């Protein structure tokens, strides 16, 4: 797995880089073939909090996790644990999805009998939609969408962007600022 480690407001030492490589090598046991995509690991510090953000693009999905704590090494450990839980929780579904696309190849490791190795938290394996909402998308600009989102008290808002006539999403970030999601 090719990981790019970069720091924001922190110098990435060789010791930190080696620790990241060592911890993330644990994830390789979950894959049939080591992922060839380039993942990114961002280490940052804000006040006394050490944050680790990881994004690993894979064919058909993106693994992403984030953690912050008082210690950078503890944050790295927590992020790797979160990614392992994501993989264990979803690998049965993902392998089934890959087979249904007509390919016999799976993304994650199976046991010698051909069965997918089942995670210990298999009861979390089912995804259930408990509510569906339908609404008309009112054309508006990004600022109005942020105001609407704040008025309804949500942390995201879907709207028809008046600037590009596409469906967009604004969301509130953990740092208190706002993000915008648009289609490529």
pLDDT digits (tens, 9 = 90+) for 76-90: 999 999 988 888 777
Q: At a CB cut-off of 8 Å and minimum separation 6, what does 13 contact?
A: none
Average pLDDT over residues 40-44: 92
Domain with CATH 3.30.160.100 in the chain: 2-125
Q: 121: which 2 tokens?
A: 């938290």
> Structure pTM?
0.59
Cβ–Cβ under 8 Å, residues 182 and 161: yes
Residues of the chain with CATH 3.30.505.50: 139-181
Which has more pLDDT, 6 or 115?
6
Per-residue tokens: 145? 């969408």
How would you classify residue 114: left for phi > 0, otherwise alpha for psi between -120 and 50, otherwise beta?
A: left
Q: What per-residue confidence (pLDDT) applies to 134?
A: 82
2-125 folds as Double Stranded RNA Binding Domain (3.30.160)
Q: Is 60's pLDDT higher than 70?
A: no
Report H helices in 30-154.
Answer: 72-100, 142-152
Q: What is the pLDDT of residues 137-157, one digit of tens each?
A: 888 999 999 988 887 788 899
Q: Please determine, looking at this structure, whether the domain spanning 139-181 carries the CATH number 3.40.640.10.
A: no
Of 35, 41, 38, residue with least CA distance to 79: 41
């Amino acid at each position: 797995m090719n990981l790019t480690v970069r720091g924001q407001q922190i110098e990435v030492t060789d010791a930190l880089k080696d620790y990241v490589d060592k911890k993330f090598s644990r994830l390789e046991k979950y894959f049939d073939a080591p992922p060839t995509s380039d993942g990114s690991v961002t280490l940052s510090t804000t006040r006394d909090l050490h944050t680790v953000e990881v994004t690993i693009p894979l064919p058909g999905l993106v693994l992403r996790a984030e953690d912050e704590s008082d210690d950078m090494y503890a944050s790295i450990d927590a992020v790797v644990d979160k990614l392992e839980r994501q993989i264990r929780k979803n690998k049965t579904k993902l392998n089934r999805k890959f087979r249904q696309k007509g390919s016999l190849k799976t993304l994650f490791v199976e046991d010698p009998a051909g069965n997918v190795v089942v995670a210990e938290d298999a009861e979390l394996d089912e995804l259930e939609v408990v509510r569906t909402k339908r609404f008309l998308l009112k054309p508006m600009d990004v600022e109005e969408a942020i105001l609407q989102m704040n008025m309804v008290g949500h942390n995201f808002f879907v709207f028809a962007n008046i600037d590009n006539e596409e469906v967009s999403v604004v969301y509130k970030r953990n740092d208190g600022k706002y993000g915008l999601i648009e289609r490529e």
